Copies of this chain bind each other. A is one copy, B any other.
Amino acid sequence: MATMQPPADPEADPRVKAVFDDIRATRKTDFINNLWRVLAFDAALLESTWAEVKRVMAAPGTLDPLTKEMVYLAVSVANSCSYCVHSHTAAAKAKGMTPAQHAELMAVIALAAKTNHLVTALQVPVDPAFDVRA
């Protein structure tokens, strides 16, 4: 099932082809996953989304690539995005996530969800010490 038909020949559009080429070059692979194939229905949306993914996830910074993938995966789990959970689990493994790290990540996500719900249920007041203006 899907709600948007990916174009049959997306790279016939030179803007789409340019993005796909950049994905292949940046990721050093020929594999273009379905998110990009579907986003090709609108070249502007494809371009801006890929530009942001490339800038945030692929450019050098102060967080290492695996940490960023695990954070991305954690948000995707909490937002219940099945596709995203699949793609970012695969990406985290490709960036070196070991089975032991995977298991620990699961334990952290599960615990966070648990205490998130407990705190909301009990409406715990924020400690003044946690206010950045304190």
Residues of A within 8 A of B (CB): 1-5, 31, 33-35, 38-39, 41-42, 44-45, 48-49, 52-53, 55-57, 61-63, 67-68, 70-87, 89-90, 98-127, 129-133
How far apart are the CA atoms of A113 and B55 in the complex, in Å?
Answer: 16
The 5 residue pairs across chains A and B that have the minimum distance between CB atoms: A78-B78, A75-B112, A42-B103, A113-B117, A86-B130
Give how many copies assemble into the complex. 6
**Residue among A45, A52, A82, A113 with the highest chain B CB neighbour number at 10 A:** A113
| Residues in B whose Cβ lies below 8 Å from that of A113 | 75, 79, 113-114, 116-117
The minimal Cβ–Cβ distance linking A100 to chain B, given in whole angstroms, is 5
Q: Which of B42, B48, B75, B100 contacts A52 (CB 8 A)?
A: B48
